[in-house]
């Protein structure tokens, strides 16, 4: 029996749990040594006991015998299909999702290279990531690989996007943090947006590519609090707060500078960045447009108020602890999407129930859009026609 039955649910956020050598077979051989020498990489890899444990557990017949029964209970490297591609279709069968967008874990933030002086390595790391992701997801058409495109250099960004689309990526992920030397709305990036629109693929933002909190906020004169996982390196209640700041600013620049109007069929998704911020942000952009339209020709040229452009082209995933019904009521039924965050701990052991409980008072149309239709709209040609409304689930 699958976790999801008798309805169509698309999952807008799932992950790989890559091992230490995940990019080695895909990295430009000329640059692999520089990649391995990165302090960021060495910190992530550590002493390798974590990777050895993960490999050993997933190779143990006794451990694997209980995998089906623990599909939502085992998290991270213990989860079925977390890093072995041959296991992921079975995991998706057990979950019952009609499709799954798949993101990295190990490579989120592109190892801090985008804002470094080594753009050659930054784009090589993105290229290796994109090759790795598309190779992993090639085992099942329901797995939709995301490719990363740094926005720091116009020509290199275009070349990166060209290869990613040719590899079979189903979405292009870009950082929400502003490039160092230009706006994400710069016309020099229009070829990237044009390629995505022509291919029918969405542009996605994901947590990990945002401006991080000023560490001075952690020095409050009191003992350091534990993070979500019980350690000290991930989010706490204070560092959680600025997660959407970068994507709010970047999407506002893209909307107000007319990028979404220049590419009206291009969809944007904000994934694992929360959504409670969206209604107020939409209204704040409308206020900005009203306040400055007298002196800004770009605002006069907009096809609609910013909030309407959001409803037309932007989709977001609430966290399971957020009030999805309130978000939908105040942002519009077109905007919000379901996501499981499988196999990350943050997704919880029963994300469907948490969202169902939140949406109990919402209309049937709103629920249908949340679990299925808005995802289909976001993904465009990135989701094959026969996967959008699978016949079996539709007839059930």
Q: For the chain, which residues make up each domain, given as ranges?
A: 10-207+243-395
Write down the pTM of the prediction.
0.95
pLDDT, residue 395, reads 38
What is the Cα–Cα distance from 283 to 305, expressed in whole angstroms? 10
3-state SS of 91-136?
Answer: HHHHHCCCEEEEECCCCCCHHHCCCCCCHHHHHHHHHHHHHHHHHH
Which residue has tokens 């969206």? Answer: 278
pLDDT string in tens for the chain (396-residue length): 899 999 999 999 999 999 999 999 999 999 999 999 999 999 999 999 999 999 999 999 999 999 999 999 999 999 999 999 999 999 999 999 999 999 999 999 999 999 999 999 999 999 999 999 999 999 999 999 999 999 999 999 999 999 999 999 999 999 999 999 999 999 999 999 999 999 999 999 999 988 888 889 988 999 888 776 555 556 788 988 999 999 999 999 999 999 999 999 999 999 999 999 999 999 999 999 999 999 999 999 999 999 999 999 999 999 999 999 999 999 999 999 999 999 999 999 999 999 999 999 999 999 999 999 999 999 999 999 999 999 855 433
At 342, give phi and psi (nearest 5°). Answer: -55, 135
pLDDT, residue 229, reads 57
What is the Cα–Cα distance from 144 to 388, expressed in whole angstroms? 12
Q: 65-92: buried (b, 16+ CB within 10 Å) or exposed (e) per residue?
A: eebeeebbebbbbbbbbbbbeebbebbb
DSSP for 20-50, written as a single string? TTTTGGGS-TTTHHHHHT-HHHHHHHTTSHH
What is the Cα–Cα distance from 99 to 373, expressed in whole angstroms? 13
pLDDT, residue 30, reads 97
Tokens representing 305 are: 């108020």
Which residue has tokens 């250099």? Answer: 153
pLDDT, residue 396, reads 37
What is the Cα–Cα distance from 351 to 356, expressed in whole angstroms? 8
Helix ranges restricted to H, the chain: 32-36, 39-45, 49-59, 61-65, 88-95, 119-137, 154-167, 190-199, 237-240, 245-256, 259-262, 278-292, 297-300, 306-313, 324-331, 351-358, 364-368, 374-379, 385-388, 391-395
Tokens representing 78 are: 């213990």
What is the Cα–Cα distance from 97 to 45, expressed in whole angstroms? 32
CATH class, domain 10-207+243-395, is: alpha beta
pLDDT, residue 248, reads 98
Tokens representing 165 are: 């689309």
At 151, give phi and psi (nearest 5°). Answer: -105, 15
Contacts of 266 (CB under 8 A, 6+ apart): 193, 196, 197, 202, 203, 260, 313
pLDDT, residue 181, reads 96
């Amino acid at each position: 029996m699958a976790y999801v039955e008798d309805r169509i649910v698309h999952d807008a956020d799932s992950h790989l749990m890559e091992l230490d050598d995940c990019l080695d077979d895909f990295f430009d051989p000329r640059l692999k040594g520089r990649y391995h020498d990165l302090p960021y990489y060495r910190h992530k890899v550590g002493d390798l006991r974590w990777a050895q444990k993960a490999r050993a557990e997933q190779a143990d017949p006794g451990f694997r015998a209980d995998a089906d029964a623990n599909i939502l209970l085992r998290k991270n490297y213990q989860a079925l299909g977390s890093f072995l591609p041959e296991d992921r279709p079975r995991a998706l069968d057990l979950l019952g999702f009609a499709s799954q967008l798949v993101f990295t874990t190990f490579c989120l933030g592109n190892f801090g290279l985008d804002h470094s002086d080594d753009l050659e390595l930054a784009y090589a790391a993105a290229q290796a990531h994109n090759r790795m992701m598309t190779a992993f997801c090639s085992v099942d058409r329901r797995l939709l690989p995301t490719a990363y495109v740094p926005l720091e250099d116009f020509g290199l960004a275009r070349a990166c996007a060209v290869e990613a689309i040719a590899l079979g990526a189903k979405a292009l992920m870009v950082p929400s943090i502003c490039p160092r030397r230009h706006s994400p709305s710069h016309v020099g990036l229009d070829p990237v947006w044009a390629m995505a629109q022509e291919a029918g693929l969405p542009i996605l933002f994901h947590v990990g590519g945002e401006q991080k909190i000023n560490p001075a906020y952690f020095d409050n004169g009191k003992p350091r609090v534990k993070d979500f996982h019980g350690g000290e390196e991930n989010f706490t209640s204070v560092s959680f707060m600025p997660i959407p700041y970068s994507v709010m600013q970047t999407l506002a620049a893209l909307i107000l500078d007319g990028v979404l109007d220049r590419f009206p069929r291009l969809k944007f998704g904000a994934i694992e960045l929360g959504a409670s911020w969206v209604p107020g942000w939409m209204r704040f952009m409308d206020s900005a447009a009203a306040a400055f339209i007298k002196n800004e020709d770009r605002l006069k040229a907009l096809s609609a108020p910013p909030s309407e452009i959001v409803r037309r082209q932007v989709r977001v995933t609430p966290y399971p602890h957020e009030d999805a019904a309130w978000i939908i009521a105040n942002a519009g039924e077109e905007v919000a999407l379901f996501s499981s965050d499988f196999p990350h701990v943050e997704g919880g052991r029963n994300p469907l129930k948490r969202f169902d409980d939140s949406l109990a008072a919402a209309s049937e149309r709103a629920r249908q859009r949340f679990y299925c239709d808005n995802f289909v709209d976001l993904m465009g040609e990135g989701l094959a026609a026969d996967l959008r409304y699978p016949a079996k689930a539709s007839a059930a």
